[in-house]
């Protein structure tokens, strides 16, 4: 497989930043490329890198990139919270597609926050070059996600739940007790492949190294969004997603069945695939996951 990396200029107002990308496969192969959107917001692409399997199995070129503010792209720690909006990341995606020359023929896959961004982008901008969309373990609204995650917390012992919420209320996010408890929760409802794969650890570490984007859009708490995505929802625009769309989820994650239901009910050309575990099926159920994605992308 061919591998190439680089950066493209991304102009915002009078300033120019760099978006870092990685291409696995050959964009001139005649096969439509798959562009991937990582989660977060503010988490690097590294945990998504197993999607190179799409190229290995099916010959489909795969494009990864680090969204602005994280990973190998320009970091902007001094920017105010209001700078970081879904529209900024939609502009960055449009710019990347154009700079790489794929804007007229591409597929799009977003995981977690990446799927939220993808749904927002497609429903608002309806890019004419997009053929197929994959929304992987993503909610159509942040309040639904938060309700789901808080609901899972009820399944833990009362003292565990009260301890976590007390730390969040008091802002003691660096407490070893809080951090250890959050890891217990995430091992159940984010990734059940324990110990976590190195790529996933690296992407979580990238948030700690520079939490600018994450803090602005989500906030530091796991169960109480205080950032700009607090009331985010795309539910009222889902009917505008006209391309064939695959929605995937698991039964023990934030994007559980009732959370993704609006996608299934409102997107006209939708297919739903449910995996067995939680939030990151490409670690937890790798073979089935990549077969499902590949089968969907190769229909035409």
Across all residues in the chain, what is the average pLDDT? 97
Residue range 130-139: average pLDDT? 98
Q: What is the spatial distance between Cα 19 and Cα 67, in angstroms, rounded to a whole number?
A: 7
Segment 44-84, tens digit of pLDDT = 999 999 999 999 999 999 999 999 999 999 999 999 999 99
Predicted confidence (pLDDT) per residue in 249-293, tens digit: 999 999 999 999 999 999 999 999 999 999 999 999 999 999 999
- Using DSSP's 3-state secondary structure scheme, residue 60 falls into coil
Domain chopping of the chain, boundaries: 3-298
What are the tens digits of pLDDT across the range 154-186? 999 999 999 999 999 999 999 999 999 999 999
Mean pLDDT of 102-116: 98
Tell me how far apart the alpha carbons of residues 236 and 109 are, in angstroms, rounded to a whole number. 21
Q: Is-contact 108 200, C-beta < 8 A?
A: no
- Domain 3-298 adopts which CATH fold? Rossmann fold (3.40.50)
Separation CA 227–CA 218 (nearest Å):
4
Averaged over 18-38, what is the pLDDT? Answer: 97
Q: Tell me, what's the pLDDT at 300?
A: 65
Q: What is the pLDDT of residue 2?
A: 86
d(CA 188, CA 256): 13
Q: Give residue 1's pLDDT.
A: 73
Q: What is the mean pLDDT of residues 21-49?
A: 97
Q: Residue 299: its pLDDT value, please?
A: 72
Give percent above pLDDT 70 in the chain.
100
Write down the pTM of the prediction: 0.97
Total count of residues recorded for the chain: 300
Residues 6+ apart with CB under 8 A from 167: 173, 175, 177, 178, 181
> Helix, strand, or coil here: 124?
helix
- Long-range pairs for 147-154: beta carbons < 8 A, 24 or more residues apart: 148/254, 148/255, 148/256, 148/258, 148/259, 149/189, 149/222, 149/223, 149/254, 150/223, 152/185, 152/188, 152/189, 152/252, 152/254, 153/185, 153/223
pLDDT digits (tens, 9 = 90+) for 52-61: 999 999 999 9
């Amino acid at each position: 497989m061919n591998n190439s990396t680089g950066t493209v200029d991304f102009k915002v107002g009078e300033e120019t930043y760099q978006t870092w990308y990685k291409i696995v496969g050959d964009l001139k192969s005649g096969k439509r490329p798959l562009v991937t959107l990582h989660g977060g917001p503010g988490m690097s692409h590294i945990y998504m890198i197993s999607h190179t399997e799409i190229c290995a199995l099916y010959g489909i070129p795969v494009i990864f990139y680090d969204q602005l503010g994280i990973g190998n792209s320009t970091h902007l720690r001094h920017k105010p919270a209001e700078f970081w909006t879904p529209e900024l990341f939609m502009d960055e995606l449009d710019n990347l597609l154009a700079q790489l020359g794929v804007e007229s023929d591409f597929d799009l896959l977003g995981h977690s926050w990446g799927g939220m961004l993808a749904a927002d982008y497609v429903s608002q901008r309806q890019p004419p070059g997009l053929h197929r969309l994959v929304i992987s373990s993503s909610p159509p609204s942040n309040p639904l996600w938060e309700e789901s995650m808080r609901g899972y917390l009820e399944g833990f012992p009362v003292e565990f739940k009260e301890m976590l919420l007390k730390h969040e209320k008091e802002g003691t996010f660096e407490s070893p007790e809080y951090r250890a408890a959050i890891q217990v929760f995430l091992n159940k409802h984010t990734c059940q492949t324990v110990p976590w794969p190195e790529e996933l650890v690296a992407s979580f570490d990238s948030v700690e190294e520079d939490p600018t984007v994450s803090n602005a859009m989500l906030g530091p708490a796991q169960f109480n969004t205080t950032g700009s995505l607090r009331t985010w929802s795309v539910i009222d625009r889902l009917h505008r997603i006209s391309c064939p769309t695959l929605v995937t989820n698991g039964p023990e994650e934030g994007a559980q069945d009732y959370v993704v239901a609006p996608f299934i009910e409102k997107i006209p050309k939708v297919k739903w695939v449910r995996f067995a575990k939680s939030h990151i099926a490409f670690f937890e159920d790798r073979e089935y996951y990549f077969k499902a994605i590949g089968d969907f992308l190769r229909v035409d």
